[in-house]
Structure 1
Amino acid sequence: MMRQVIIALLLGVAAIYLFVTAPPPLPETARAQAPQTSDLPVKVLLDAANLVNAAARKIYTERIVTPGQQVGLVFGEDWQEAHSKTGPLPALFLRKVAAELQAQGAPLALFLGSDQPISPSNAFKGEQVRHFAALKEDRKPRYFDMPALRLQVALYPDIAAAPGCVSCHNEHPNSPKTDWRLGDVMGATTWTHPRAAVSDRELRQGIAQVYAAVERAYAAYLEKVRRIPDPPSIGSAWPGREGRRLPDAETFMSAVKEATAAQILDAAVLLR
């Protein structure tokens, strides 16, 4: 029964939210037809949120940063400074997504932590340390609660998947570890939510907020790029063979949605 509810619910999410740029409020007719339940485990939302964020970061890294550097685009830590002519590194793109979630007032929160962080503020603390140690061993997500903070927590392995990630950390003057290799678990993408269960409406809203946060983070990058000398053209093309170009927000989000809709449904169907 729960599986059928989740499948129907996520199909509704896909139909209503996944194929629009800025998700509107759920229409009354769709709201009436959607299964109404308040005991969906928050794991469903956390897994879906992580799928969207991970896909967006992968696309940003592989289709924006890597080919962008080859055509003269620059990415750095100071990208939000007024004088900077750079875009965000992949980890900082994630941080911007987290900030945009917070700006929406979303109960979901996003954090990239590590036991070997460049910034001390990203170091795991307390209960997180033990769970991250176990995650590094088997590379499986960890779900737990932190009663003192009244938070449900999910850790997902953050693996060094691109040469740029490895070289950036190995060469950074503040990095406590300088022998990272491709395939290493560098940290964990961490999601939190204040409740152990969510309603169908909260699930739909949470997924929509993650998509919106990704779009706003990418739009912030485009806004920065427009102000640099000799800016790339922005439209439907990607950097690389297409030259010094960047996709607009609609094109970027279409790629993210195409990469995630089926995975979100699969995650819901396979939930135990």
Structure 2
Amino acid sequence: MSRLTPCLAALRAENHAAFVTFVTAGDPNHETSFEILMGLPGAGADIIELGMPFTDPSADGPAIDKAAQRAIKAGANMKKTLSMVTAFRAAGHETPIVLMGYFNPIYAYGIEKFCTDAATAGVDGLIVVDLPPEEDAELLEPANANNIDIVRLATPTSDDARLPAIVNGASGFVYYVAVAGVTGGKSASADDIGEAVNRIRKYTDLPVAVGFGIRTAEQAGAIAKHADAAVVGSAIVSLIENGIDADGTPKGDLVENVLNFTQTLANGVRSGR
């Protein structure tokens, strides 16, 4: 069992939604990115999604796309991403970490070796946005063998015929992408999200996390009323972008600003119920 299941179960028992943060590994550089990662648990993050930088992030909007490019320019790669998780665990942090990204870097690394190395580092789950359920067996089996959850994505277009295929074999949680389009786009209404979450729950007992388009504490709180978790990514990544100079050098208050904003969002999630 990964850390995801007991984490989400404990929060559910307390009638709290989880607050899930997303940051890109290595953005704006390895050192600053690791400092942010280390500070996220203390800033209220219950689960951390760590983006695996990729040159062609087709599902991501401008903010996360640029974050990936900054990270790659600064020397990010899969080994460094896993080393961040290793160091995070060595420091005593037990916050679940889910690696999020695309299949190409995993395939290039070697699927079985990746799953083994990710488990050794302390990774709990994977979200691979361009790998549909019909094609993920080659990743699902070695991941599950290493107690790594495969988190599947549902969208507004996932109808009653599609949802059973999405949840079959999924573990950890189901990630509901609340709006059609790329990351960082417009927000869906709370009523629409509530209806979607209830529809997904007809097909699975897994917790349902909702993301895409959450930018404020108020929006995060509204999501927390309906979902088991609220995910914020682009808003945090945009704050990182705003905290660097034209040459990519982090400003002195970047980490503090990111963690303060994260705490504000966490408070919003906590006040949602």
TM-score (norm 2): 0.32
Which is greater in Rg?
1
TM-score (norm 1): 0.32
Higher relative contact order (CA 8 A, sep 6+): 1
